[in-house]
Chain A
Amino acid sequence: MIAATGIDLRLGASDVLSGARLCTRPGQVVGLIGPNGSGKSSLLRCLYGMLRPNRGAVLIDDKAIESMSQRSIARAIAVVAQDASADGIDITVGEFVLLGRHVHRGDHEGFTDDDCKVALDGLEMVDLSGFAERHLHEMSGGERQRVMIARCIAQQSPVILLDEPTNHLDVRYQHEVLTLVRQLKNDTIVVLHDLNLAGRYCDHLALLDRGSVVYQGQPDDVLRSDVLEPVYGIEVRRLADGQHPYLAFGPLAR
C-alpha cells in the first residue's frame, strides 16, 4: 500500500504540486484525472521515487520512501512509465519482460528457469504467449503496451502504477489495455486523460487541479458537471449509460 500526504513539489520556478494526497486501495483501480499540467504524472513519479517532493511524505507499507533503496521500492511498486517505449534498444519481447525480474536478482546473478517461467506466465496473462521471440519494435502500439504490463506482472510487485497507458492507442486497444489492468486485481493507480474510460474502468477517482487533489470518490460522485466544469473550464453533460457514467463535452457558453 502506498500513501502520499501533503506533497509539495517545486520544479524550477513553478509549484507543480501543493499539498497533494493520494493512496492505493486494496485490489482496486484508482484513476488519477485532471487537466493538462495539473500534476498527475508528477504525483505518480513522487510515488515511486522518480521525483523527490520538497515537502510531505510518501509511505510504502508505512515506511518512508526516502529510507528505502530503489530496489526495495521496485519490489513494492511496478510502473508502466511514459518513456516505456523501448525505442532505444532493439530487444525481443521475452528479453524485455524478463528484465522485470531484475528486482529479485543481484546485479551479477543470471536469471533462473523460474524467472523465465514467471516472464512467460506474464506474457500468457496479457495474451501474448508465443510472442517472446518477436522484436519489440515490430509490435503494434496496443501489443507493446500489453508487453509493458507483462513486465509489471513479471516483477510481481503488489502495486502497479500506470502513466497514461492508453496514449496513442485506438479505441479498441484502449479498452483492451484497461480491461487487462482491471483483471490483474493489484492495488493500481492509473493516470488517465479520457474521463469516460476513467468512469468505466476505475473503482475510485482522484481529481487533480493545479497541484492539489480537489475531489475524490467513486466515479459516479466525481464525474459530475458541477465538479468537472470549474476544473476543466468546459461544459460537461452527463448522459445515461447503464451502470457507468458517460460524459459529453462542449465549450462553455460565454
Chain B
Amino acid sequence: MIVAIGLGPVWVTPPTVLRIIGHHTIGVPEIVSWARTDDAIIWEVRLPRVLLGAIVGTALGVAGVTLQALVRNPLAEPYILGVSSGGSTGAAAAILFGVGSGLGPESVSLMAFLGALGALALVLALARSTGRITPSRMIVAGVAVGYLLSATTSLLILFADSAEGARAVMFWLLGSLANADWSTLPIGYLGMGAGMVLVYWWRRRLDLLALGDETAMASGVDPGRTRMVLVVVVALCVGFAVSLSGGIGFVGLAAPHIARRIVGPIHRHLVPASAALGAIILVWADVAARMVLQPRELPIGVVTGVLGAPVLVALVRKLPHNN
C-alpha cells in the first residue's frame, strides 16, 4: 500500500511516504528532505485515493462474494442488482443538467447515491411483486432495471448534446478514484464498513444459502428474510462505492473467484479473503491507471477489464469439469 501510494507520475520513495504520513498523523517532525509538492501529492491526493481504492475494492469484493452465494450463481457480481446503473443515471443527471446542484459541492456523489437507492427500491419492488424474493426473480429484476436505467443515461447524454459533458459522464461510468478527498472518506468507510461487518456476522448463513433454500431452511435459516436483509445491505455498500468512485467493473466478480481458489468455499475464510483481494486488485489497478499513459489517466474500469478478463478466463479453465 505504501509502495502504491508512492507510485504515479511523480515517484515518492516508501520511506518518504511513511514520514509524510507520520508527520500528518502522529506528528513526526517535518524534515527538509521532502519537497512541499511531495507532501501535497502524498497527503492531499494519493493517500485518500489509495484509501478510497482499498475500501471500495473491499466493498466490491464482499458484495460480489455475498451475491454469488445469495443467487447461487458464480457469475453474479455487485452490479447485477442494477445499483450501478441507478448511480450512473443519478450522476449523469447531476453532471449534464445540474440536477441536485443545491445539495452542495458533492452533489454528483449524492445524486449517484440517490440514483442507486432508487434502483434498489425498484428492483426490490419488482422482485417481491409475487411474494418472496427468489434468486431468479432478483436477477431478472436487476437486469431489467439495469437496462432501463442505462437507456435513461444514454438518453440524458443524447439530450444534453455536450461533448465535454458526455466525456465527463463516460469517465464516471468507467470509474475513477481521482475524486477521492478527505471529506468523503469517513462516510464511505462508515457506510461500507458497517455493511461488511454484517455480512461477516452472517457468514455461515451464506454457506447454507449457497447450498440451497431448502437446506438453509432445514438448518434454521429463513432464506427469504436473510436474502432480503443482505441484498439491501450489499446494495447500500455498492451504492456508496458507486457514488464515490463510479462503476468500477470486474473487481466484484474476479476477487471472489481468485479468493475461492486460495481459501476454498467456506465464507468464514472466503469473505475476508475476497475483501483483501478486492482491495489489492483495485489499489494496483489504480496505480496502473495513473502510470500507463502518464501524465494522462486511464479510467480504472478499463484497467480492471483488460487485466481481469484473462485472469478470470484462466481461473475458469482450471475449474474441475463437473463443477
Q: Which residues of A contact B208 (CB under 8 A)?
A: 99, 102
Beta-carbon contact of A83 and B213 below 8 Å? yes
Question: Given contacts A83-B213, A99-B211, is CB(A90)–CB(B218) below 8 Å?
Answer: no
Question: Given contacts A107-B202, A137-B323, is CB(A48)–CB(B210) below 8 Å?
Answer: no
Beta-carbon contact of A102 and B204 below 8 Å? yes
Chain A, residue nearest B204 (CB):
A102
- From residue A40, how far is it (CB to closest CB) to chain B in Å? 15
Task: Give the segment of A73-81, A190-198, A229-237 that binds chain B.
Answer: A73-81
B-contact bits for A12-37, CB 8 A (1 contact / 0 none): 00000000000000000000000000
Interface residue count on the B side (C-beta < 8 Å): 27
- From residue A60, how far is it (CB to closest CB) to chain B in Å? 13
Q: Does B205 touch A at the CB level, under 8 Å?
A: yes
Q: Does B41 touch A at the CB level, under 8 Å?
A: no
B214: contacting residue among A81, A95, A105, CB under 8 A:
A81
Q: Does A168 touch B at the CB level, under 8 Å?
A: no
- From residue A203, how far is it (CB to closest CB) to chain B in Å? 23
Q: Which residues of B contact A54 (CB under 8 A)?
A: none
- From residue A103, how far is it (CB to closest CB) to chain B in Å? 4
B-contact bits for A51-89, CB 8 A (1 contact / 0 none): 000000000000000000111111101110111111011
Question: Given contacts A50-B217, A103-B220, is CB(A84)–CB(B212) below 8 Å?
Answer: yes
B218: contacting residue among A69, A78, A105, A137, CB under 8 A:
A78
Q: Which residues of B contact A96 (CB under 8 A)?
A: 211
Q: Which residues of B contact A137 (CB under 8 A)?
A: 320, 322-323
Beta-carbon contact of B211 and A70 below 8 Å? no
Give A89-107 interface residues, CB cut-off 8 Å to B.
Answer: 89-91, 95-96, 99-100, 102-103, 105, 107
Q: Which residues of A contact B212 (CB under 8 A)?
A: 81, 83-86, 88
Q: Which residues of A contact B222 (CB under 8 A)?
A: 70
Bound state CA distance, A78 and B213, in angstroms?
14
Give A127-155 interface residues, CB cut-off 8 Å to B.
Answer: 137, 155
Give B250-266 interface residues, CB cut-off 8 Å to A.
Answer: 260, 264-266
Q: Which residues of A contact B265 (CB under 8 A)?
A: 89-91
Bound state CA distance, A105 and B219, in angstroms?
11
Bound state CA distance, A100 and B264, in angstroms?
19
Q: Does B101 touch A at the CB level, under 8 Å?
A: no
Beta-carbon contact of B210 and A70 below 8 Å? no
Chain B, residue nearest A84 (CB):
B215
Q: Does B201 touch A at the CB level, under 8 Å?
A: yes
Q: Which residues of A contact B207 (CB under 8 A)?
A: 89, 91, 99
Give B183-205 interface residues, CB cut-off 8 Å to A.
Answer: 201-202, 204-205
Beta-carbon contact of A81 and B215 below 8 Å? yes
Beta-carbon contact of A100 and B219 below 8 Å? yes
Beta-carbon contact of B218 and A81 below 8 Å? yes
Beta-carbon contact of B204 and A86 below 8 Å? no
Q: Does B166 touch A at the CB level, under 8 Å?
A: no
Q: Which residues of B contact A6 (CB under 8 A)?
A: none
Q: Which residues of B contact A89 (CB under 8 A)?
A: 207, 210-211, 265
Chain A, residue nearest B72 (CB):
A88
Q: Which residues of A contact B122 (CB under 8 A)?
A: none
Q: Does B143 touch A at the CB level, under 8 Å?
A: no
Residue among A49, A70, A84, A155 with most chain B CB within 10 A: A70
Q: Does B18 touch A at the CB level, under 8 Å?
A: no
A-contact bits for B218-262, CB 8 A (1 contact / 0 none): 111110000000000000000000000000000000000000100
Beta-carbon contact of B217 and A70 below 8 Å? yes
Question: Given contacts A108-B201, A137-B322, is CB(A99)–CB(B214) below 8 Å?
Answer: no
Question: Given contacts A71-B220, A155-B219, is CB(A90)–CB(B214) below 8 Å?
Answer: no
Bound state CA distance, A91 and B269, in angstroms?
13
Bound state CA distance, A89 and B215, in angstroms?
13
Question: Given contacts A84-B214, A88-B211, is CB(A99)–CB(B219) below 8 Å?
Answer: yes
Chain A, residue nearest B214 (CB):
A81
Q: Which residues of B contact A45 (CB under 8 A)?
A: 214
Which residues of B pack against A, CB within 8 Å?
A: 72, 201-202, 204-205, 207-208, 210-215, 217-222, 260, 264-266, 268, 320, 322-323
- 9 nearest interchain CB pairs? A81-B214, A74-B220, A79-B218, A71-B220, A83-B212, A103-B220, A89-B210, A70-B222, A88-B72
Given contacts A89-B211, A105-B204, 16 further A-B contacts (CB under 8 A): A50-B213, A70-B217, A70-B220, A77-B218, A81-B217, A83-B212, A85-B212, A86-B212, A86-B215, A90-B260, A91-B266, A99-B204, A99-B207, A102-B208, A102-B219, A137-B323
Can you offer 8 A-B residue contacts whose CB atoms are under 8 A?
Answer: A71-B221, A74-B218, A74-B220, A81-B215, A83-B215, A88-B72, A89-B210, A99-B207
